[in-house]
Amino acid sequence: MIEEYLREIDELLIASPAVRSVEVVRRALRNTEWERVLHYRYRVFLADGGLVEMSERLVEMRGVMTTTTYRYHWQDAQGHLRKRWDNAPHHPNVATFPNHLHDGAEEHVVSHVAITGAQVLRQILAAMER
């Protein structure tokens, strides 16, 4: 399951003309008797000069894959935040706590359901390709 998920992300990155290059900062898979744990971090350099930083920790256990922590940061060419999805538990007042979205500014925090890196990547690349 984890390999298929990574393959999905890699294929999205390779196929999109909106992606200039990708830096794999970390991609570590740990296997134990009970579970498989993946932690990855990518820096995706966009054709328009923007940047997407993706970090996700996934656990696969008994045929079920769960994202336990995530942070997907999208900024424009000038370094201004466009969106950042994460589940750091620092906004307890948000209805979807700990999941939330920083929308357009660090201090503009709104509710958002849990989301995967592949889902975020699809959204960003679709917006870039319009």
* Angstrom distance (rounded) from CA 7 to CA 20: 18
pTM above 0.85, yes or no: yes
pLDDT per position as a tens digit, 64-84: 999 999 999 999 999 999 999
* Angstrom distance (rounded) from CA 84 to CA 112: 11
What per-residue confidence (pLDDT) applies to 130?
Answer: 77
Confidence check: pLDDT of 129 > 90: no
* Angstrom distance (rounded) from CA 82 to CA 84: 7
pLDDT per position as a tens digit, 7-33: 999 999 999 999 999 999 999 999 999
Phi-psi region of 40 (alpha: psi -120 to 50; beta: other; left: phi over 0): beta
* Angstrom distance (rounded) from CA 126 to CA 120: 10
